[in-house]
Chain A
């Protein structure tokens, strides 16, 4: 048990070290640019401790986490689904359309919207998988191309049409331009009712997205599928050594397509918090979460738990850096620097921690040996014996 705790602490130490290092470097940058780093970080942390900000951070972390898991599923098999960005936006448009057309009882309505989003995301990514196994086209190229087609083509064309005379909402604001609104029954209720009895009033019109629970469920499912199922075993095996996996009965082609589809299905959910909050797809719909997801997957080493860490750190920086604009203690862009450095530093930090752990284990082993006598502990005797020999 003590051992387990040590291991958890050690694994968590790498991203924390990376964060500290990034903070250090950014301090230098801040000093050089004439700002006071202590004031800036102070502002950010104080701001982050407010209930409203915590809700904002969780709202930001939720889609980042989903996006991270989407990227991680691909990474686990050495597939780079760089198309999460296009997949979630396209999935959101289609599900917003479908959701707006339907009149269904609550749970069912929400389920249909989420399933449509997952289906569209999965199908879009699946195309890249199929292209890879049938035509040998690298998934990086194909997902980038599909991204370009979906984002520039479809989404731009739609936005044009909406602007030309689409549905403008009652306030007449630009934000109202978009798909028809999804009826109330299709929107996941916020979790305010769930947490406010504990935390007290959140206030200021802030809502904790109901998708938070979906993200938790996705994380648990990812963990179980990856680590406990035969499918997850095949997936990891293909990632570690595709040739051995093939000889072990794993069909490489099938795994590539399945992994891409699964990655796309999770990607389809990335846009849902934004869609649920806006009630429709419109120009205010969130963007760039696909790339954020790649970053948090890297930071979290593609582990279900690690990505939680990664997405919380990134969400914290995204959200609490907003205060800098108001307080004026530093430029808000400092968060981009911190995020960039964390990613670089994490690579080094993981290696350092790994080496430390190895040395530590070797030292403990050597001590144990010294206490118990000189021969290695697993040595049963000097002559090898094989059963049945």
Chain B
């Protein structure tokens, strides 16, 4: 697999050799050129960002570098050696590790089991040496300040923790080159800071890091150099110095940086969603949602701020109906829906954008038009009586595709062939075009490029003006502050503050989210949206 030419005999990285050199990489999928003659050089020990629109070919390029996909044309060099990976194993052997855009952990296994999976140290007799594995894992996690409990079930972890597990998994295998595909998409600002601290430590240790990110401020904060892809081609590779976010935006999509500011209030007196004294879980443990009450009016966007794992997901699940609360009730337009099943709730006008598109949002192996119907399969245009209305469903999917700029050769391809951001746009399109009364949106613009993000924000504002009530959960504080009429902060399952977005900044909001500002606050009572 490695044909050394100008490399030293022992195969160790040579100083001055670039860590990675890609040249002329081309990769075609049915109907799409994902990478079109891409060339790029990454120096040893640098943090290199890759930016570009949804579907620009970023993930594909990284998968090629990781041996998961093979390029149709082009050559790759790693530490100066020409390589031709047949599988990720080859890449791992050369010290390349990748954390995917969509995590690939086994829910039912522990952190330790996930980390060693595929790289199990064995004792005599072929049994797995868990003691040695655990020791090594703890060594890795301590030396990089990546804090995890090896015995936790992955199922119970929040996204920030899952991400740490993925990174440890890669480091555990001795990676010298790390590829992180949109690592910050799922993180709240504090977690992003922590990740960046880890990345700097890794870099100080000599690691080379490639990462994909749609948030340009983050890119400018951490990257040493930046490569911009557009329509599968390299547009430019720039050093960080002297580049601004709008320069990057211009290169990526040819447009200005959008901002999620709301103009005038459209909040009405009609209460669409009311959550009354809702408690989820408990009974021995601390409840995941603890006596939460809130109202969302027609024409209002209520944002929920909080560090992942403080009850937001469970609150959403209880509203959508996938978990039943232990106490309290949920009302939709004045009607008690606490005991209704998910289907009845969705039929009565609840649209839902789940936090994890692969887990709850998509049928990955099914065609796009079937995915567009998911959650709305009982109603026109997707259904006619007991039958699925194929023609209607397809036609509507085309509408979504055009309206939300879902980039795909056609609507018969399976959802897994879409890029992450395009998958998200498909979900948003299906939910926003379903004529909902209430939109429950968890991280709606997660993984979406800045151009499409602006369009989604416009779409949400338009729907709000038309009377849609929106419950918005987001890790992106600018989005939360910019879009919401009211911000509710959740901490340890409870609502700890109700704020007016016009007088919070990401910094003060962050303080509330970590519980630091709760004691000193007394403004919770005089704001709209408080029960």
Q: Which A residues are within 8 Å of any B CB, using their own CB? A: 228-234, 236-237, 240-241, 243-251, 358, 361-362, 364-366, 369, 374-380, 382-389
Contact = CB atoms under 8 A, between A and B. Distances in A.
B359 interface: yes
B199 interface: no
Given A244-B360, A389-B455, A251 B253 contact: no
Contacts of B320: 247
Interface string B350-381: 00101000011111111000100111111000
Contact of A233 (B30, B72, B361, B388): B388
Nearest to B33: A376
Interface residues of B, number: 62
6 contacts: A232-B388, A233-B373, A237-B377, A251-B341, A365-B31, A382-B231
Interface of B: 28-33, 36, 53, 72, 230-232, 253-255, 320, 322, 341-343, 345-347, 352, 354, 359-366, 370, 373-378, 383, 386-388, 390, 402-405, 407-410, 449, 451-452, 454-456, 458-459, 462
Nearest to B27: A362
A91 B30 CA distance: 49
B458 A389 contact: yes
A384 B405 contact: yes
A248 B388 contact: no
Contacts of A374: 33, 36
Contacts of B342: 246-251
A231 B387 CA distance: 8
Given A230-B388, A237-B366, A247-B320, A379 B231 contact: yes
B254 A383 contact: yes
A384 B388 contact: no
Given A376-B33, A376-B231, A231 B28 contact: no
Of the candidates B362, B364, B405, the one having the most CB atoms from chain A within 10 angstroms of its own CB is B405
A243 B360 contact: yes
A257 to B, nearest CB: 15
Contacts of B383: 230
Contact of A237 (B254, B374, B378, B387): B374
Contacts of A246: 322, 342, 360
A232 B253 CA distance: 41
Given A244-B363, A362-B28, A369-B33, A231 B386 contact: yes
A358 B320 CA distance: 38
A388 B456 CA distance: 10
A75 to B, nearest CB: 14
Contacts of A233: 370, 373, 377, 388
Given A247-B354, A382-B254, A383-B451, A388 B458 contact: yes
A149 B363 CA distance: 38
A250 B377 CA distance: 10
Contacts of B72: 366
B459 A386 contact: yes
A228 B389 CA distance: 8
Given A228-B387, A384-B405, A365 B30 contact: yes
Nearest to B359: A243
B286 to A, nearest CB: 25
A364 B28 CA distance: 10
B66 to A, nearest CB: 20
Given A241-B364, A248-B376, 15 more contacts: A230-B383, A240-B364, A243-B360, A244-B362, A244-B363, A248-B342, A249-B342, A249-B343, A249-B346, A365-B30, A377-B31, A380-B405, A384-B253, A387-B403, A389-B454
Nearest to B30: A361
Contacts of B407: 378-379
Nearest to A366: B28
B29 A362 contact: yes
Contact of B30 (A243, A245, A358): A358
Contact of B409 (A358, A365, A389): A365
Given A361-B30, A385-B455, A230 B343 contact: no
A365 to B, nearest CB: 5
B420 to A, nearest CB: 15
Contacts of B360: 243-244, 246-247
A247 B410 CA distance: 26
Given A244-B360, A386-B405, A229 B388 contact: yes
Contacts of A362: 28-30
Contact of B387 (A229, A249, A358, A369): A229
Contacts of A365: 28-32, 409
B65 to A, nearest CB: 20
Nearest to B388: A233
B107 to A, nearest CB: 10
A384 B28 contact: no
A174 B363 CA distance: 55
Contacts of A380: 405
Contact of A247 (B347, B361, B408, B409): B361
Contacts of B378: 230, 249
Nearest to A387: B403
A380 B404 CA distance: 12
Contact of A376 (B31, B374, B388): B31
